[in-house]
């Protein structure tokens, strides 16, 4: 009996990033769960969340990888299911880091609401884009999605999260929050590049970038941000333990 074995085409970088993303997320999740026992109690929940983020992503990448290899199409629905679970958890990290400085649950819910807004409007922009692509549709919903992103960005750099970190008196927390803020500024900015590659998007229409590049940029951004967020939290926990 012949086995149906998935192979990576030599000329398909997108398939390569799906396979690599799956393994990277899985490895990161195992690392965070194992290392959770080596940090102080107040950081265990943060590291657990980091492990959940990469663990959930690994499961979805397993299915997205197979979907892409079988159809050659963008796994839009699976992608947004993953983000709906993992992006709010990334916002939870901001809350957990600043909780020691007096962060209230209202901050948590505002960040989650902004992330859900960002994802729902982005999904409408991609999933309900008319056949052949509509620039008006993609720009409108892309703009609405950006509003949620800008709120999170402002909160991390100048708003409540930034102020709580500054008032915490903890150098590790300050550095960690600022590093995560850089991830939001630079790392999260990769996603709009992928979004604009879909049919009707500015990069698709203006520069002729293929819609397949959506997955290429999304996969790279996911690996950088989800694993990176967890490594920042881990470095804070380890630094706090050394200085204790």
Convert the pLDDT of each residue in 131-160 to its tens digit.
788 999 999 999 999 999 999 999 999 999
Region of 119 on the Ramachandran plot (φ > 0 left; ψ -120 to 50 alpha; else beta): alpha
Cβ neighbours around 228 below 10 Å, total = 16
Give dist(CA 125, CA 172) in Å, integer. 39
Q: What is the pTM of this model?
A: 0.92
Tokens of 175: 């550095």
Among 219, 225, 227, CA closest to 60: 219
Average pLDDT rounded to a whole number, residues 18-40? 95
Q: Mean pLDDT over all residues of the chain?
A: 91
pLDDT in tens, 52-98: 999 999 999 999 999 999 998 999 999 999 999 999 999 999 999 89
Domains assigned to the chain: 13-243 (1.20.1070.10)
């Amino acid at each position: 009996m012949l086995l149906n074995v998935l192979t990576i085409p030599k000329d398909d970088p997108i398939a390569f990033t799906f396979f690599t993303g799956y393994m990277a997320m899985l490895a990161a999740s195992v690392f965070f769960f194992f290392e959770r026992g080596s940090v102080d109690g107040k950081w265990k929940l943060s590291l657990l969340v980091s492990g959940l983020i990469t663990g959930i992503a690994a499961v979805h990448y397993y299915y997205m990888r197979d979907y892409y290899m079988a159809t050659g199409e963008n796994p839009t629905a699976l992608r947004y299911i993953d983000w709906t679970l993992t992006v709010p958890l990334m916002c939870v990290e901001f809350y957990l880091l600043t909780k020691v400085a007096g962060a209230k649950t209202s901050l948590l819910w505002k960040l989650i609401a902004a992330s859900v807004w960002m994802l729902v409007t982005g999904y409408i922009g991609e999933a309900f884009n008319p056949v052949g692509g509509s620039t008006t549709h993609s720009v409108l919903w892309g703009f609405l999605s950006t509003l949620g992103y800008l709120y999170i960005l402002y909160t991390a750099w100048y708003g409540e999260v930034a102020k709580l970190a500054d008032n915490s008196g903890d150098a590790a927390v300050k550095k960690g929050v600022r590093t995560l803020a850089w991830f939001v500024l630079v790392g999260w900015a990769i996603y709009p590049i992928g979004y604009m590659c879909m049919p009707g998007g500015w990069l698709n229409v203006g520069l002729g970038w293929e819609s397949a590049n959506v997955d290429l940029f999304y996969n790279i951004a996911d690996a950088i941000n989800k694993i990176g967020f967890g490594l920042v939290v881990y470095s804070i926990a380890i630094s706090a333990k050394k200085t204790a």
